[in-house]
Amino acid sequence: MRDYEKYIRYRTFPTPWCPGCGDGVILKSIAMAFAELKLDPDDIIVIAGIGCSGRMPTYFNTNTLHTTHGRALTFATGIKLAKPEKLVVVVSGDGDATAIGGNHLIHAARRNIGIKMILINNGIYGMTGGQVSPLTPPKFFTETTPYGNIEPHFRIRMLLSAAEASFVARETVNRLMQLKQVIKKSFLHKGFSVVEVMSNCHVNLGRRNKMKSPLVMTEYIKDITCSMADFEKLTPEEQENKYPLGIFVENTQRMEYTDLYYNHIVPVAQQSGAKGEK
Amino acid sequence: MSQRKVLQGNIIIAKAALAAGCDFFAGYPITPSSEIAQYMSKEMPKMERAFIQMEDEIASLGACIGASLAGKKALTATSGPGFSLMQEHLGMAVMAEVPVVIVNVMRGGPSTGMPTKPSQADMMQARWGTHGDHPIIAVYPAFSDEIFSETVRAFNLSEKYWNPVIILLDEVLAKAHMDVEIPDPGSYEVYWEKTHEISDLNIYDRNIGENPPRIDFFHSYPIHIDSLEHDAHGWPSFDAKTVDKMQRLRMEKIYHNLDDIIKYKEYFLDDAEVLVFSFGISARSALAAVKMAREQGIKAGLFQALTVWPFPRAALQERFKKTKKVLTVELNMGQMKYEIERIAPPDVKKQTLLRANGLPFSPGEVLETIKEFVK
């Protein structure tokens, strides 16, 4: 047994994911990050909302919670505030995190509460059969954009930076070791962190856009991504269709929310209480 | 020694919640419940308990459920529009069997309605608001001392039966300053269910009718909790036999324990010709009206429901053996009257006093209706 396997709950297998799905790579990379940090499984909780990503917690041999659509961050906020010393991980898909859960996403970033979010971006609602999501690229065909997507897609990197997120990164399922490394780094970060993972849904997005095999789709992910250094050399027009990779924001100056609450608000309140104010 | 104080209804709820051991509050501002959050934001940090203002009511109840699963006693407070948003997570709390207490200070509806006017129009929403078959407990205090005792009881029931409990309160009582007796700690029961040590994932494994044990995260053995229908291990299952058992487990933990859950008060009912059925602010007017009726020689009595869900069916049916007239008084277009119609035998005459224009009933109005009814 490899060291990361103790974080995987094999008795709940098989997973509901299609053969070749990027979710398996992400599951493994998260487990590997747990193993490298030598965490006690009972000190971890993995939470998810609804969708293909929603099923991921079931397969971790840690505390796990499967919640409602888009709301995983709200449960995570309650758990983190109740038990600040625990590692609280949220796994969320692009529809879950940026459509129905968009409000919770920006507020978790603004609060800088120490939740570790893995945002799986496959650009589609996979579990419901392939409908357009806020991260589906323009012009793509989906079940609900039969004539091509006319809506622009969210740029998670900029959206979260505007919401003052203190850790924002992007990786792809093509690069397991880099992915594990950046996830591990996000786990060590004090505040709210988001690692966006570009993943392949060849079944529900690729199939309708001439990329029906996982290999073709991961090749496409390779084509549209590049390093930040390469990205900066591109013209604005070229940048439109490229996704830079790496850590974009890493702010260690901002205080984490539960740290502020228990180490600043609580003493202030107790002092004012001692003065006899009511 | 207990203390007599003059306090707002909302503040009585907040004080009672803290007395019951509430150590987590998440909420979102909404009239007429905001004072509960305000009081908690001031008092909870002093006690090293957690307070957070969330981005909406969906998030508030989500945070409460999360905190509850991490071992806290959680409370949120809202009003009609926020209660509508909470229905999604009310169902999650039922499905995953999570103790949590939700205050709904009812205001005029539908929609934004009348934020500063009372109504009793969320009675059926409290029962059936979230989708799917589900058990629910809702308590409804009317008098100031009851606001304290029912809030403590709501926490106890929630802990005991691992189910969300709703406290309904009237806008008028939430805002009014009332003479109230705050009892001594120790003079009332505070239920603490010790977290069970577990060595396997079979956290929902129990017999039908049994109370679930409290199961928390971070308690020596990592567990899985799911919003999907699940088996005894908590992981997703749509197997018909398993689902059937889980549905019954959730329902029967409540319906096997009605004697413990249902609470009501009866006034002048032993020889009553007319039973007035009411709750909350309307029960206060009804009690005054019944006393006035007695002075005028009319044999009227009041049945005040403190637990509105589950409905106090057996106790009312017992009364209907002798009392053959029932008057339902409620501040809505007719909701709980259907429960009365459902359970009262055909030989019991039914009358209602209903209104939903933002004005509570005066005792005189209830008295007039009683007089008309007994003619």
Look at the alpha carbons of A95, A24, A194, A231 in this order and tell me if their dihedral is positive or negative.
negative
At B225, the amino acid letter reads I
Task: Kindly determine whether residue A75 and residue B224, on different chains, have CB atoms separated by under 8 Å.
Answer: no
For chain A, how far is it from start to end, CA to CA, in angstroms? 59
Distance from CA of B185 to the nearest CA of A (A): 20
Hey, which residues 45-64 in chain B have their CB within 8 Å of chain A? 45-46, 48, 50, 52, 54-56, 58-64
CB B300 within 8 A of CB B273: yes
More confident residue, B220 or B127: B127
Q: With 0-12 CB in 10 A as exposed, 13-18 as middle and 19+ as buried, what is A241?
A: exposed
pLDDT at A275: 57
Task: Show me where the domains of chain A are located.
Answer: 3-274
Written as six digits, the tokens of B108 are: 């005029």
Check CB contact of A64 with chain B, cutoff 8 Å. yes
Distance from CA of A60 to the nearest CA of B (A): 9
Residue-wise pLDDT tens digits, A153-189:
999 999 999 999 999 999 999 999 999 999 999 999 9
Q: If you search the block for the tokens 């009933």, which residue do you land on?
A: B361
Task: Kindly determine whether residue A78 and residue B48, on different chains, have CB atoms separated by under 8 Å.
Answer: no
pLDDT at A241: 87
Q: Which of A58, A77, A266 sits opposite B45 (nearest CB)?
A: A266
Which residue is closest to A81 within chain B, CA to CA?
A: B50
Residue-wise pLDDT tens digits, A18-74:
999 999 999 999 999 999 999 999 999 999 999 999 999 999 999 999 999 999 999
pLDDT at A278: 46
Task: Kindly determine whether residue A68 and residue B226, on different chains, have CB atoms separated by under 8 Å.
Answer: no
CB B103 within 8 A of CB B74: no
Spatial distance between the Cα atoms of A110 and A89, rounded to a whole number of angstroms: 17
Q: With 0-12 CB in 10 A as exposed, 13-18 as middle and 19+ as buried, what is B252?
A: middle
Look at the alpha carbons of A245, A247, A249, A255 in this order and tell me if their dihedral is positive or negative.
positive
Contacts of B218 in chain A (CB under 8 A): 42-43, 45, 63, 83, 86
pLDDT at residue B195 above 70? no
pLDDT at B194: 67
How many contacts does A have with B, using Cβ atoms within 8 A? Answer: 138
Peptide bond into B110 cis (omega under 30): yes
Residue-wise pLDDT tens digits, A85-130:
999 999 999 999 999 999 999 999 999 999 999 999 999 999 999 9
pLDDT at A46: 98
pLDDT at B318: 98
Q: Which of B45, B59, B68 sits opposite A74 (nearest CB)?
A: B59
Written as six digits, the tokens of B342 are: 């459902």
Q: Is CATH 3.40.50.920 the right assignment for the domain spanning B267-374?
A: yes
CB A4 within 8 A of CB A35: yes
Task: Kindly determine whether residue B92 and residue A68, on different chains, have CB atoms separated by under 8 Å.
Answer: yes
Task: Kindly determine whether residue A42 and residue B222, on different chains, have CB atoms separated by under 8 Å.
Answer: yes
pLDDT at A83: 98
Written as six digits, the tokens of B131 are: 């989708």
- What would the mean pLDDT of B153-170 be, rounded to a whole number? 97
Fold match flag (B3-182 vs B267-374): yes
Q: Which of B210, B183, B182, B167 is nearest to B75 (CA)?
A: B167
- What would the mean pLDDT of B49-71 be, rounded to a whole number? 98
CATH architecture of structural domain B3-182: 3-Layer(aba) Sandwich (3.40)
Task: Show me where the domains of chain B are located.
Answer: 3-182, 267-374
CB B100 within 8 A of CB B93: yes
pLDDT at B29: 98
Task: Kindly determine whether residue A65 and residue B220, on different chains, have CB atoms separated by under 8 Å.
Answer: no
Q: Which of B245, B124, B55 is nearest to A109 (CA)?
A: B55
- b/e per residue B1-12 (b: at least 16 CB within 10 A): eeeeeebbbbbb
- What would the mean pLDDT of B253-280 be, rounded to a whole number? 97
Q: If you search the block for the tokens 């205090």, which residue do you land on?
A: B141
SS (H, E, C) chain A: CCHHHHHECHHHCCCCCCCCCCHHHHHHHHHHHHHHCCCCHHHEEEEECCCCHHHHHHHECCEEEECCCCCHHHHHHHHHHHCCCCEEEEEEEHHHHHHHCHHHHHHHHHHCCCEEEEEEECCCECCCCCECCCCCCCCCCECCECCCCCCCCCCHHHHHHHCCCCEEEEEECCCHHHHHHHHHHHHHCCCCEEEEEECCCCCCCHHHHCCCCHHHHHHHHHHHEEEHHHHHCCCHHHHCCCEEEEEEEECCCCCCHHHHHHHHHHHHHHHHHHCCCC
CATH architecture of structural domain A3-274: 3-Layer(aba) Sandwich (3.40)
Task: Kindly determine whether residue B62 and residue A77, on different chains, have CB atoms separated by under 8 Å.
Answer: yes
- What would the mean pLDDT of B4-20 be, rounded to a whole number? 97
Residue-wise pLDDT tens digits, B221-257:
899 999 999 999 998 999 999 999 999 999 999 999 9
pLDDT at A277: 45
Residue-wise pLDDT tens digits, B294-319:
999 999 999 999 999 999 999 999 99
Distance from CA of B41 to the nearest CA of A (A): 10
Residue-wise pLDDT tens digits, B74-117:
999 999 999 999 999 999 999 999 999 999 999 999 999 999 99
Q: Which of B95, B101, B50 is nearest to B78 (CA)?
A: B101
More confident residue, B159 or B196: B159
Contacts of A86 in chain B (CB under 8 A): 70, 218
Question: Which of A12, A13, A52, A75 is the best substitution to test chain B (most B C-beta atoms within 10 A)?
Answer: A75
